[in-house]
């Protein structure tokens, strides 16, 4: 007896096999794995296909439903009505939000029964999930009436109904619809995937934020401001010089193009009485030579960094003077952009590389003793203060202890910190512990969720006690 495959996806994929693999290869080569331009193009095309204003892609149909529910602030002590004839994921999305699923029977078309929906509405009911099945839409028109009459939200689970329609497309009845692109679906992906469609702009923007850990370009920090935060820091490792190129999407504060964007950003944050600061740096040897304008990496000495595998050249006096001025100009751009301050990142980057004996092997005035190795940081801070004045917050992030045999020790860091404090040029010192020579070391320097709580707290406390 010949065995017939249950679901032979290879026949579906065969006509586009080579094209898809070529696109996979392109994405891999360009390291654009998450929320890339292809995702944006797909979202536009899917909005056209479903005749909806907005589409937000996500990891699965379950995630799509959960994003909708969370964006609608449905959670603990809330009830959501849904049909019994559905996949378990519909109910799981509800329970993952902390809400309670209320199951009702189906009509003759195996879709949610509108009469049963009305019978099960209570004071705790917040939403109805209509599951569209077998190319059919539930009675969305009637469900919409019921939802409006009871101040409820109508949501669609359209995981198996891509493109299904009647006189109007579904989003004209519901607040949002969730789709699945599981390989076996009528519009399946090579892997899993999902999407939310909606015509509600505010809901769309909120789902965008939830999809990306609360971040959607400018709104991430503004959401924090709305929550009452007094100060927000952005622009981690923002570059000040051309020979400190972006290796992970970090900002460039090395030219005036950033100023109008900073001004608009600062204005929004200041409306909520929230201060705004930017972190600026020169990455030194902690970069790649083949990004940006392919300018060679520089460092205090020709010491290779294992993590990025760069072979830096030794910075000469001309380089040093230029970089000092670059820091000053970058700080000035931040102030002109309406920001309230900056944090100068030293640790692991160029300024910190000058301070560390493991990377600074110089014998001139910038090498040898702690005071000499600190010289570039002091000259940089002097230049910054000259450009921004005293009414601008300037802080510094440096190592409290690199925890390397030949690295910056706790006592050397303490000596440097005390000297910095005495200059009155900085408003705060932000201390890190560890180094970034290897991936493991970096993971220990920036402890993950499985690490003990505040593993470096005692060392930082000891530093603070001796600095102030």
| Residues annotated as part of the active site | 349
Lookup: tokens for 44: 């536009």
**DSSP states along 90-138:** HHHHHHHTT-EEEEE-B-TTSSB-HHHHHHT--TTEEEEEEEP-TT---
Query: What are the angstrom distances between the C-alpha of 54 and each of 46, 93, 201, 267, 284?
Result: 9, 21, 8, 28, 42
CB atoms within 10 A of CB 17: 11
C-alpha–C-alpha distance, residues 272 and 254, integer Å = 28
Residue 14: alpha-carbon gap to chain centroid: 36
C-alpha–C-alpha distance, residues 256 and 262, integer Å = 10
Report DSSP state, residue 226: H
- Which residues neighbour 74 within 8 Å (Cβ) at sequence distance 6 or greater? 80, 94, 97, 99, 126, 127, 153
Phi/psi region, residue 35 (left: phi>0; alpha: psi -120 to 50; beta: rest), is left
Residue 274: alpha-carbon gap to chain centroid: 20
Would you say 354 and 283 are in contact if contact means Cβ atoms under 8 Å apart? no
C-alpha–C-alpha distance, residues 168 and 166, integer Å = 5
- Per DSSP, the three-state class of 211 is helix
């Amino acid at each position: 007896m010949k065995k017939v495959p249950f679901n032979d996806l290879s026949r579906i994929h065969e006509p586009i096999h080579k094209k898809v693999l070529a696109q996979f290869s392109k994405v891999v080569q360009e390291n654009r794995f998450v929320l890339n331009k292809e995702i944006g193009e797909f979202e536009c095309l899917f909005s056209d296909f479903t005749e909806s204003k907005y589409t937000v892609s996500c990891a699965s149909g379950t995630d799509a439903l959960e994003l909708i529910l969370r964006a609608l602030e449905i959670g603990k002590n809330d009830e959501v009505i849904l049909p019994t004839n559905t996949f378990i994921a519909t109910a799981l999305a509800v329970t993952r939000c902390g809400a309670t699923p209320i199951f009702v029977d189906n009509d003759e078309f195996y879709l949610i029964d509108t009469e049963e929906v009305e019978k099960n509405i209570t004071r705790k009911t917040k939403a109805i999930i209509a599951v569209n099945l077998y190319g059919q839409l539930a009675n969305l028109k009637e469900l919409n009436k019921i939802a409006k009459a009871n101040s409820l939200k109508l949501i669609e689970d359209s995981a198996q109904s891509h493109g299904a329609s009647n006189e109007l497309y579904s989003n004209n009845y519901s607040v949002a619809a969730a789709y699945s692109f599981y390989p076996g679906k009528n519009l399946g992906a090579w892997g899993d995937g999902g999407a939310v469609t909606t015509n509600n702009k505010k809901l769309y923007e909120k789902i965008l934020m939830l999809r990306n850990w609360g971040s959607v370009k400018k709104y991430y920090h503004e959401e924090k401001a709305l929550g009452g935060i007094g100060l927000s820091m952005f622009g981690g490792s923002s570059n000040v010089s051309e020979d400190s190129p972006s290796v992970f999407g970090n900002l460039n504060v090395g030219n005036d193009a950033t100023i109008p964007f900073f001004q608009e950003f600062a204005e929004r944050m200041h409306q909520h009485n929230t201060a705004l600061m930017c972190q600026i740096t020169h990455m030194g040897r902690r970069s790649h030579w083949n990004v940006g304008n392919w300018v060679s990496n520089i460092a205090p000495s020709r010491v290779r960094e294992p993590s990025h595998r760069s072979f830096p050249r030794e910075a000469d006096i001309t380089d040093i003077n230029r970089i000092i001025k670059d820091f000053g100009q970058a700080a000035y751009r931040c102030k002109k952009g309406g920001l309230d301050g900056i944090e100068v990142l030293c640790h692991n980057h160029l300024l910190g590389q000058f301070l560390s004996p493991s990377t600074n092997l110089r014998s001139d005035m910038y090498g040898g003793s702690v005071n000499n190795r600190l010289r570039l940081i002091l000259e940089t801070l002097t230049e910054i203060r000259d450009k921004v004045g005293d009414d601008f917050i300037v802080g510094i992030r440096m190592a409290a202890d690199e925890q390397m045999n030949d690295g910056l020790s706790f006592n050397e860091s303490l000596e440097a910190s005390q000297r910095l404090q005495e200059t009155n040029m900085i408003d705060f010192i932000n201390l890190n512990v560890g180094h970034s020579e290897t991936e493991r070391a970096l993971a220990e320097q920036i402890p993950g969720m499985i690490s003990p709580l505040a593993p470096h707290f005692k060392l930082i406390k000891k530093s603070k006690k001796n600095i102030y």
